[in-house]
Amino acid sequence: MNKLRQMMLFMHIVETGSITAAAERLELSKSVLSQHLKALEAELGTTLLKRTTRRQSLTEAGQGFYQHCREICSRAELAWDEVLERQQVPGGRLKVTAPHALMDSMVLPALVSCFAGFPGVQLQLLCQDQQLDLMTEDIDLAVRVGESLDSRYRQKRIGSFNEVLCRAKGDSRASADTAYIANHWQGRQISHTIEGMEYQFTPCHSTNTVSQTQGLIRAGLGIGVLPEFMLDEGIDVITQLAPVNVYTLHPFEAAVPLTVTMAQQAIAAAFMPS
């Protein structure tokens, strides 16, 4: 770091024309700048600037060294500006994961609406019902059903949706001996209260995506739980269940990328009542 500082100070001495002018620009004392220049020339073992009381000029070695200093400074300024610009105009990769049901019906439409006018954003979407580790999979934003116990990540509740116990259109079955279609997260013993009576179900069928559950219910293979927003004309509601909370998680500390903030807000808006 000290080498880079000396190179930048040298560049300013050259560009301002004197140690005095450089000291004024940088708000440093002339003696400090002189010491840095002497230390730099001593470490390099060569003279970079020929100086008199009236003028200064670069040696041959100094000319080449100055060009490298200028190039390093330009690259540093470019890196700085690019990061600042990303906080003004969204750009770069945004990797988002969400369960199948939420990705197709809520998350994807929200992201399309949010970033349609920003061609610099590259979306990478992972549709996965199993919860992935954000750091291992290099994920920027995760949408989760239910609160996460992982304290490593920043978590925010963004909304909720209703779940319903349902069956195929025209099917009247809803008793303990009715075939039950279980989502992978429901386990092997499932209970529901229907018209004031509690029923215990042992799954007959099981799926690892909600869309598969929806297909089996619509086909009349049994009853099961779906998000309310996945109901269609081929499915009837047996009873409404308790609301389910939805959260977003991200691995960023204080400086959250603009794309993550925008995506989080857009997805949250999708869960707001219309």
Whether 165 and 155 map to the same domain: the answer is no
State the pLDDT confidence band at 84, using cuts at 50, 70 and 90: low
State the pLDDT confidence band at 214, using cuts at 50, 70 and 90: very high
Instruction: Report the alpha-carbon angle 258-263-266, nearest 5.
Output: 125
Beta bridge partners of 121: 92
If we measure between CA atoms, which residue out of 106, 93, 120, 81 comes closest to residue 257? Answer: 93
Whether 69 and 204 map to the same domain: the answer is no
- Reported as a single tens digit per residue, the pLDDT across 93-111 is 999 999 988 998 899 999 9
Between 150 and 234, the higher pLDDT residue: 234
Query: Does the pLDDT value for residue 85 go beyond 80?
Result: no
Whether 98 and 222 map to the same domain: the answer is no
Q: Out of 25, 55, 86, pick the residue that ends a domain.
A: 86
Whether 21 and 76 map to the same domain: the answer is yes
If we measure between CA atoms, which residue out of 110, 76, 120 comes closest to residue 258? Answer: 120
The answer to whether 204 and 222 are in contact (CB under 8 A) is yes
Whether 215 and 110 map to the same domain: the answer is no
Task: Look at the block and give the residue holding tokens 């304290």.
Answer: 151
Domain that holds residue 110: 93-159+249-270
Query: Does the pLDDT value for residue 246 go beyond 70?
Result: yes
**Quick one: average pLDDT of 233-243?**
91
Cα distance between residue 44 and residue 59, in whole Å: 13
pLDDT at position 220: 92
Cα distance between residue 51 and residue 31, in whole Å: 15
Whether 141 and 124 map to the same domain: the answer is yes
Query: Does the pLDDT value for residue 179 go beyond 80?
Result: yes
Cα distance between residue 220 and residue 223, in whole Å: 8
What are the tokens at 199? 């029923």
Query: Does the pLDDT value for residue 265 go beyond 80?
Result: yes
DSSP code of residue 255: S
- Domain total for the chain? 3
Q: What is the CATH number of the domain that holds 131?
A: 3.40.190.10
pLDDT at position 137: 93
Whether 148 and 255 map to the same domain: the answer is yes
> Beta-carbon neighbour count of residue 146 at 10 Å?
11
If we measure between CA atoms, which residue out of 18, 21, 20, 22 comes closest to residue 8? Answer: 22
Whether 8 and 74 map to the same domain: the answer is yes
Cα distance between residue 216 and residue 158, in whole Å: 30
Cα distance between residue 57 and residue 61, in whole Å: 11
Predicted TM-score of the model (pTM): 0.66
- Reported as a single tens digit per residue, the pLDDT across 16-57 is 888 888 888 888 888 888 888 888 888 888 888 887 777 888
- Mean of the per-residue pLDDT values of the chain: 88
